[in-house]
Amino acid sequence: MESVSTPRVVSLTEVAQRVLTEEETKDLIRFGLGQEPEKNWKESLPPDFEIKELPAVLKILIGRIPDVKLTLGLLCFIASLSGVPGQIVQWAWELKRLSVQANGKLLTIMDWALAFPTGIPTEEGYLKAWEAQKIGGQNLLDTQEVWEPPYYK
């Protein structure tokens, strides 16, 4: 008899990882150096900047985590990891989780690197995490309750 597991959001730290590619490593360095680490990404943009000018992956990312404080460098680095909406939503959940664990402090690339010291999920890892959060064809990540405490521990 097969056991049925309860759907849950699986942290990307729990799935198979791979090291960053050369290009991803360059992005990590480029977005991590020269940024103002004490500034939330919203404060780093010009005052007349309009969100509608952002690429779709960034709109998805910031749309899911409007209350998470993170540097512009971290925001851009996460967006550079994938152009696939499902993976961006998974990264948004990870940033929310990290923010809650850090008591809402400003997240930097260093915080990300400490949380993901071995790299990022493999394609299979992303898929495993994505499938684990499905409920009868629907995504747990599309429900409000997984984006609010006490879901994050």
Asked whether the predicted pLDDT for residue 135 surpasses 70, the reply is: yes
- The whole-angstrom separation of Cα 75 and Cα 69 is 10
pLDDT of residue 1: 43
Neighbours of 150 (CB within 10 A): 7
The Cα-based distances of 24 to 56, 79, 80 in angstroms read 19, 11, 8
Amino acid 34: pLDDT: 66
Distances (CA, A) of 27 to 11, 22, 70: 23, 9, 16
| Lookup: tokens for 89 | 């939503």
pLDDT greater than 50 at residue 2: no
How long a stretch of residues is the chain?
153
Measure the CA–CA gap between 30 and 8, rounded to whole angstroms.
Answer: 34
What confidence score (pLDDT) does residue 51 get? 77
**Residue-wise pLDDT tens digits, 109-134:** 999 999 999 999 999 999 999 999 88
pLDDT digits (tens, 9 = 90+) for 31-89: 887 666 678 888 888 888 887 778 888 889 999 999 999 998 999 999 999 878 999 99
Do 118 and 17 meet the contact criterion of CB atoms below 8 Å apart?
Answer: yes
How much of the chain, in percent, has pLDDT values that exceed 90? 52
Residue 27's nearest CA partner among 91, 87, 96, 73 is: 73
Pick from 36, 76, 38, 37: which is nearest to 54 by CA?
A: 76
Establish how many alpha carbons lie within 13 A of residue 117's alpha carbon, considering only the half-sphere containing its beta carbon: 1
pLDDT value of residue 147? 83
